[in-house]
Structure 1
Amino acid sequence: MALWNRLRESTQQMQSQLLSKKNELKSGAFRDAAMAMCALVAAADGSVDPSERQRTAALIASNEVLQNFPADDLRRRFDEYVAKLTADFSFGKVSVLQDIGKAKKKENEARAVVQIGIVIGGADGNFDDDEKAVVREACFALGLNPAEFDL
């Protein structure tokens, strides 16, 4: 139970940090990188089952920071990234990581993208090794040290 409590506290802390930056996180690069990150975390094990897709879409729709953008636009972008990853995970991951890397020009946006990945990954109470690994790869694409996020 202690592990679950630590994970919940960590994701709540990440969400609070994101909320404090909400007004700064309005660029197209952030939007695209955030949706790419959500898709990457959802597909971290190489596939996305319908319930996982639905749960991630619901989390995207309810995330206050992502409400800076039209919900239908976010959903369309998320679905496009998921399609790339499910068609060919290895090739799709390269493309998705490139889009995530576009947010590295603004450090606050890059950090926010990683935080969104952690929030999405930990939302079910289990931030598993596959999810941690793809968020770690995203850190490298963004020029961030994964240790900064306990990855």
Structure 2
Amino acid sequence: MALWDRLKESAQTMQAQLEERRNELRSGAFRDASMAMCALVAAADGQVDPAERRRVAYLIEHNEVLANFPADELLERFEGWLDRLVADFDLARAEALREISKARRKPVEARAVIRIGIVIGGADGHFDLMERSVVGEACQALDLPPHEFDL
């Protein structure tokens, strides 16, 4: 199986796992951690490409699990994180990881945040090393083993 096919299959599996738990993913901690994760993945290489910003915003608006929250609220949080990452990447990255770590209290939410990161990272068919690294850091912040997610 080609790398692209494996990546696509993995992203689809992660999305299906998220949808199975949709009703359990309604807390503010999950919402905030997910948007911090989306922004970290979008800016994984230290910059935010406008096309990637639009692509991730589209995915946020159309994700079944994230539909538990008003799309404009999610996008506002996502854009806020991106603006902070552009202004001071290292500081904002540390703050975003702290925000993500708040989801650790609920294992279902913690795993869902990681799955959101993988879905976002793999949506373009290329889950690159920088994106994998950021999701791996989030695993550490959530006390989750990266190998559980094939990272």
Q: Name the aligned partner's letter for residue 116 of structure 1.
A: I
Cα deviation 1:47-103 (Å, max 9, x = unaligned): 101111000000000100000000110000001111111111111100000000000
Q: Which runs of 4+ in 1 moved over 2 A?
A: none
Distance 2:49 2:5 in 1: 26
Cα deviation 1:9-34 (Å, max 9, x = unaligned): 00000000000000000000000000
- The TM-score, its normalising length taken from structure 2, stands at 0.99
3-state secondary structure, aligned to 1:102: helix
- The TM-score, its normalising length taken from structure 1, stands at 0.99
Match of 2:90 in 1: 90
What are the equivalent positions in structure 2 for 1:69-148 lying under 5 Å apart? 69-148=69-148
Match of 2:21 in 1: 21
Distance 1:10 1:49 in 2: 24
Match of 1:8 in 2: 8
Q: CA deviation at 1:107?
A: 0.2
Q: Name the aligned partner's letter for residue 48 of structure 2.
A: V
Distance 1:75 1:2 in 2: 34
Structure 1 unmatched runs, 5+: none
**Matched residue count:** 151
Q: CA deviation at 1:147?
A: 0.7
Q: Name the aligned partner's letter for residue 12 of structure 2.
A: Q
CA RMSD of aligned residues (A): 0.7
Structure 2 unmatched runs, 5+: none
Q: Percent identity?
A: 64
